[in-house]
Amino acid sequence: MKRVRCPKCDSFIVFDETKYNEGQSLVFVCSACKKEFRIRIGKSKLTNIHEERTIDENAYNQDYGSIIVVENKFAFKQIIPLDIGDNEFGRYLKGTNINKPIETSDPSIDTFHCVIRVEHNRQGQLRYILRDAPSDTGTFYMNQILKDSDRINLEDGAIITIGATTLILRAAAQ
């Protein structure tokens, strides 16, 4: 499966490239903004970053940890490094003002869905705190929905679900 990004709104359209021949032109209509655009099937000179690159999950764990977005129908696997302070997660949309966008076509993820705060505790160890933004569909921690007032302390391997997408916390090595 390949995906192309709409030139107008940056939404992704996924299609099966094996059904088409090299050199064939395809016309797409974006389901989000109705923009019509065309691409030509050919051999890319660039590496397909989502399918051919080997991802080192420990590469981002050096400083403050990372979030792994599990690949599903809506999104390819992504690793998002965490920073000290509020890490605001949501669906990537052109012009979104969050600092940790997830590239997905999952309509059940809000453009600002949840926050993972990274801070040092009194002993100097990193602490991860999850809260809902609040979002329309809710944020789930270990299959339990969070209330707007909930603040959940996370540990390495914590499973967070937003929309139909699963996130896994990889805490920094301390």
Task: Give the 3-state DSSP-derived string for 48-94, with helices as H, strands as E and coil as C.
Answer: CCCCCCCCCCCCCCCCCCEEEECCCCCCCCEEEECCCEEEEEEECCC
pLDDT of 21 reads 84
Q: Structure pTM?
A: 0.67
Domains, the chain, in order of start with CATH, read 2-40 (no CATH), 66-170 (2.60.200.20)
* Tens of pLDDT, residues 70-81: 988 887 889 999
* Tens of pLDDT, residues 125-173: 999 999 999 899 999 999 999 998 999 999 999 999 999 999 999 999 8
pLDDT of 54 reads 44
Cα separation, 45 vs 26, in Å, equals 19
How much is the average pLDDT of 88-104?
89
Cα separation, 35 vs 16, in Å, equals 20
Percentage of residues in the chain with pLDDT exceeding 70? 89
